[in-house]
Amino acid sequence: MKYGRLTFLATVAAFGLPTIPVDAAAQNPNSKVITFEAPGAGSTPGSFQGTGCFGCTFAINRWGAIVGTYLDANNVFHGFLRSPEGKFTTFEAPGADTTPGSFNGTVAQGINDLGEITGYYADAMGLTHGFLRSPRAAFTTFDVPDGENGSTPVFINLEGAVAGYALDTNFLFHAFLRRPDGTFADFVGPGSCTSGTPVGCYGSAATYVDLVGGAVGNYEDDSGNFVDHVVIRSPGGKLTKFDAPGAGTGLYQGTGCPGCNLGVNFFGSIAGSYTDANNVFHGFLRSPEGKFTTFDATGAGTGSYQGTGCFSDCPVSLNDWGLITGSYWDSNNVQHGFLRTPEGAFVTVDPSGSAGTQPESINDSGTIVGYYLDANSVYHGFVRLP
């Protein structure tokens, strides 16, 4: 496996990333949206079953392989892998509870370019545990040392390092990194709240780890308002926070939000969202040098809890060409997807029949994957081709 990683990196170094015309990928009128259903996905009206789920993460790798989660007709979660050709493989992590009606099961969260998958499963007690799935379908399960009340992996890099968050005995979330050798690093943001979720403190989460062990995540502070901030952790463990210009400091305002994965690309640019003093959401892009560009998606509302981003569990994804995808809420409180070019042009991404769209991930070819909710409150997956 290590040979495969080194070979891949050498290939990129020699030949570069695949070349695509960025503007064409973003604005091509012939861009195609393909909707899909994982085999076994439930479709009961009003059930919130289907392909996708609130708070679940879909991910796409460089080659177009997609991982995600579906909820079946018995209200059990399962992981799926969709090949670039559209072939599905569904899977269960060992130890996952599949009792009908339990809302337990397997949730797949991330995939790297070698086809390694990470996610979590819920056991019969509803406790979550992390897993790794190899390209040959071999599983490794793990628990974060400070995750007595559950472990939630979010992201896996090319080296097999995993980032996520874990819930400790005080019901405080800690960010974690699981190194390729199976050892862990655990951290909370500088000045993080520590009182735990029962009193509104969600703590810290890591949503990205690079090839040398640097991580990016977000956390809520101890100001009393649980203000959100982004934190960068160096490979040596140094923590640096930052805030987008214009971010508010009131209750649950700030930069980022609970469950909102940040977009980070190979060059170190970071994309996300922030909440201003009027509780309006906006997008931001931070360069590797620390320069900020803030933006609002075309069609985003300007009222309270409208705008570019959301209060919780809205990811932003950024590829190596500078394309950004995420979601916005319009003036009628309807959620839509967006694609932003490096030049600042916007395209709305809404599959036909969507009553609410959430793009989750974009790869370097400009392909977007996500899910949407239909008028019957059933989830469906979609791919937007460039």
Which whole number is the average pLDDT over 319-337? Answer: 98
CB 103 within 8 A of CB 75: yes
Which whole number is the average pLDDT over 198-205? Answer: 95
Q: What are phi and psi of 159, to 5 degrees?
A: -85, -5
Which whole number is the average pLDDT over 304-318? Answer: 95
Closest CA to 273 of 303, 241, 240, 317: 317
Whether the per-residue pLDDT at 16 is higher than 60: the answer is no
Q: How confident is the model at residue 30 (pLDDT cuts 50, 70, 90)?
A: low
Closest CA to 92 of 69, 75, 112, 73: 69
Whether the per-residue pLDDT at 31 is higher than 90: the answer is no
Mean pLDDT across the chain: 92
Which whole number is the average pLDDT over 318-342? Answer: 98
Whether the per-residue pLDDT at 3 is higher than 80: the answer is no
Task: Please return the burial class of 197, using the count of CB atoms within 10 Å of its CB with bins 0-12, 13-18 and 19+.
Answer: middle
* Tally of CA atoms within 13 A in the half-sphere of 173 that contains its CB: 25
376: its two tokens: 């019957």
Q: How confident is the model at residue 19 (pLDDT cuts 50, 70, 90)?
A: very low
pLDDT of residue 28: 57
**% of the chain exceeding 70 in pLDDT:** 92
Whether the per-residue pLDDT at 313 is higher than 50: the answer is yes
Say which range, 17-21, 102-106, 123-127, 237-241, has the weakest mean pLDDT: 17-21
190: its two tokens: 């500088």
